[in-house]
Amino acid sequence: MLSYLHVKNLALIDEAEVEFGSGLNILTGETGAGKSILMGSVNLALGQKVSREMIRNPQQPALVELIFQVDSSHCLQALEEKEIAAEDGQVIISRKITQNRSISRLNGEVCTAAQIREIASLLLDIHGQHEHQSLLYQEHQLEILDAYGKENIDPCRENVKKSYREWYALKKELESYQMDEESRKREMSFLEFEVNEIEEAHLTAGEDEELEKRYRTALNSKKILESLGAVSCYTDNERGAGELVGRAIQEMSGIQDSEERLLQISSMLTDVESLLSDICHEVADCMDELTFSDEEFYQMDERLNELNHLKSKYGSTVEEVLQYQEEKQKELERLQNYEAYREELEQRLQMKETELNTYCEKLHQQRCQCAEKLTGEITSGLQDLNFLDVIFEIGFEKTNHFTPNGYDKIEFRISTNPGEPVRPLAKVVSGGELSRIMLAIKTILADKDETETLIFDEIDTGISGRTAQKVSEKMAVIGRNHQVLCITHLPQIAAMADRHFEILKKVENGETTTRITELDNEASVCEIARILGGAEITEHTMISAREMKELAQKQKNASVK
């Protein structure tokens, strides 16, 4: 459940903190006090787009923080599957909004708005003031039916989706396969050229990598031999340093006498000559050990150029080029056997269409079975909400084409008065009636999907009197198994509160702010009296409010028993 809400620097709210409890949490307040802003902040935390004008003080960031206490084993398991750790059963969602950007966090870690929405769908269900209008759309009506019967319907839907994708792919392939004889010959000629070009290269998988290694080794050997050849040229006894040192030794032999320094120079030159000789022998040995063939190197270079040319056209590796050849060979064979392959495609498409139709029929049957049960539950729920003589039906139509969701179109139909024919919702009900129908549906779906928290934002618009009483009783029933947060202007619903919060607008130091306060029993009676009596609260109004509160409590106690 949503246990804590913290809002700071947002619209009329300077800073507000609320601790919600289990059961029915009611929020009331005068028009314009900021009820919608407070609950809208929940939507902001869950990733809804926000106008920067909503920031109260542009110099400071706005903040919305939600803390959920998760008790449902189903929800905890779903969070675990998404790798969300709920330490001590808590999930913390926050969003910080500045003039330049907003940052969402989940349990302290930065995440995207899409991730937040995905997690939030497990934790709560928000029903806004105008959401009931979606009931008028047949697409949404089908979503409601599928959500209600998802345990049996979802496997059928998955079969339909998979079969539809395969059927659609075959259908598109067959459509693209229609060509005249000239186009077919032109395409065949082009494919033959590509296949032959690859085939004539006699490729081997992995050949390019192996050849590149050998080429690099050969290229390195070539560079080494060229360098060693230069060293040999510079140091040998015929045209290099060896010859010059030999001449120097001859010159020294003509001037040698008993002088020690001359003898040392002559000895050093002899050592240099010996060292150069050793170098020449060592270089010659290295050159003998290294092998390099200009012809082989040229062949490797040519083969690499051929491979790279093919890779530039047909794939980044030899394996991809071979795969491309295989695919084009199949295309070529299909074109060579055009009529036979077209007939094969038509047969495969027909078989897949038969399969798809079978899956759609099974999905239709499951939906019909679930629709019968849902019709009974909605009818019962509407009777609880003061539709005493209601007749509710779910009508089915078959589309003239396949879709990934089968071929069903459904329509919610209703008669709210005796003797009236059953007609589509859009042609019968008012806004207030739509709200009650949606409330009945939400109640049914909430029991199905184990959502812990339900938020109703002023869905009681357009109802009053006995109907309002019935709605309050339904809210109390929902509150026995779920946490319910409800913004309302009806005293009947406010009287049913397990926890009652007043949203109040105040002007202090020339600034308007919104505050939220939890009311004790006596303060709750006063707030109900305000809703009943308006600006002036009389003693009679207080008596009525107190009586309404006491009767609501007795009714809740009786329903629990």
Residue 33: predicted pLDDT = 64
Cα-flanking dihedrals φ and ψ of residue 22, to 5°?
Answer: -75, 170
Q: For 294-321, what is the mean pLDDT?
A: 85
Residue 443: predicted pLDDT = 78
Q: For 216-240, what is the mean pLDDT?
A: 74
How far is residue 365's CA from residue 491's CA, in Å, rounded to a whole number?
44
Residue 125: predicted pLDDT = 77
Residue 392: predicted pLDDT = 93
Kindly report the number of other CB atoms within 10 A of residue 275's CB atom. Answer: 13
559 pLDDT higher than 70: no
Residue 176: predicted pLDDT = 75
Band (pLDDT 50/70/90 cuts) for residue 237 is low
Residue 130: predicted pLDDT = 57
Residue 25: predicted pLDDT = 93
pLDDT tens digit sequence for 69-102: 988 787 888 888 888 888 888 899 999 998 888 8
Q: For 107-116, what is the mean pLDDT?
A: 87
363 pLDDT higher than 80: yes
Collapsing DSSP states into helix, strand and coil, what is residue 108? Answer: coil
Residue 429: predicted pLDDT = 67
Q: Token pair for residue 239?
A: 């045209």
Select, from the ranges 39-53, 265-279, 392-406, the one with the highest average predicted confidence (pLDDT): 392-406
Q: Do 228 and 286 meet the contact criterion of CB atoms below 8 Å apart?
A: yes
Of 180, 164, 184, which Cα lies nearest the Cα of 349?
A: 164
Residue 98 is classified by DSSP as: -
193 pLDDT higher than 60: yes
Residue 168: predicted pLDDT = 94
Residue 256: predicted pLDDT = 60
Of 542, 493, 553, which Cα lies nearest the Cα of 25?
A: 493
Band (pLDDT 50/70/90 cuts) for residue 241 is confident
pLDDT tens digit sequence for 547-557: 999 998 888 87
**349 contacts: CB under 8 Å, gap ≥ 6:** 167, 170, 171, 174
Q: Do 18 and 27 meet the contact criterion of CB atoms below 8 Å apart?
A: no
Q: For 279-292, what is the mean pLDDT?
A: 71
Comparing 149 with 299, the larger pLDDT belongs to 149
174 pLDDT higher than 90: no
212 pLDDT higher than 70: yes
129 pLDDT higher than 60: no
Q: For 225-235, what is the mean pLDDT?
A: 76
404 pLDDT higher than 90: yes
Q: Do 487 and 461 meet the contact criterion of CB atoms below 8 Å apart?
A: no
Output the pTM of the full model: 0.62
Q: Going by DSSP bridges, is the β-strand pair 453-457/483-487 parallel, antiparallel, or unpaired?
A: parallel
Q: Which DSSP string do the residues of 162-230 spell out, in sequence order?
A: HHHHHHHHHHHHHHHT---HHHHHHHHHHHHHHHHHHHTTT--TTHHHHHHHHHHHHHHHHHHHHHHHH
Burial (CB < 10 A; 0-12, 13-18, 19+), residue 525, is buried
Band (pLDDT 50/70/90 cuts) for residue 461 is low
Q: At what angle do helices 294-314 and 207-235 cross, to 10 degrees?
A: 140
**CA 162 from centre of chain:** 20
How far is residue 537's CA from residue 251's CA, in Å, rounded to a whole number?
133
pLDDT mean across residues, the chain: 84
Q: Token pair for residue 279?
A: 């170098």
Residue 128: predicted pLDDT = 63
Q: Token pair for residue 43?
A: 């939507």
Burial (CB < 10 A; 0-12, 13-18, 19+), residue 4, is middle
Q: Do 394 and 412 meet the contact criterion of CB atoms below 8 Å apart?
A: yes
Angle at 461 between CA 458 and CA 466, to 5 degrees: 115
189 pLDDT higher than 70: yes
Comparing 413 with 266, the larger pLDDT belongs to 413
418 pLDDT higher than 80: yes
How far is residue 184's CA from residue 398's CA, in Å, rounded to a whole number?
39
Residue 202: predicted pLDDT = 86
561 pLDDT higher than 60: no
Comparing 453 with 63, the larger pLDDT belongs to 63
pLDDT tens digit sequence for 470-518: 888 888 888 888 888 988 888 999 999 999 999 888 887 778 888 889 9
Burial (CB < 10 A; 0-12, 13-18, 19+), residue 29, is buried
Band (pLDDT 50/70/90 cuts) for residue 535 is low
Band (pLDDT 50/70/90 cuts) for residue 462 is low
Residue 458: predicted pLDDT = 65
Residue 181: predicted pLDDT = 65
Comparing 136 with 358, the larger pLDDT belongs to 358
Comparing 360 with 198, the larger pLDDT belongs to 360
Band (pLDDT 50/70/90 cuts) for residue 447 is low
Band (pLDDT 50/70/90 cuts) for residue 165 is very high
Q: Which DSSP string do the residues of 344-392 spell out, in sequence order?
A: HHHHHHHHHHHHHHHHHHHHHHHHHHHHHHHHHHHHHHHHHTT-TT-EE
Band (pLDDT 50/70/90 cuts) for residue 180 is low
% of the chain surpassing 90 pLDDT: 27
CA distances (Å), origin 205, targets 34, 174, 210, 317, 321: 71, 33, 10, 9, 9
Q: Token pair for residue 544?
A: 């009525």
Residue 293: predicted pLDDT = 67
% of the chain surpassing 70 pLDDT: 91
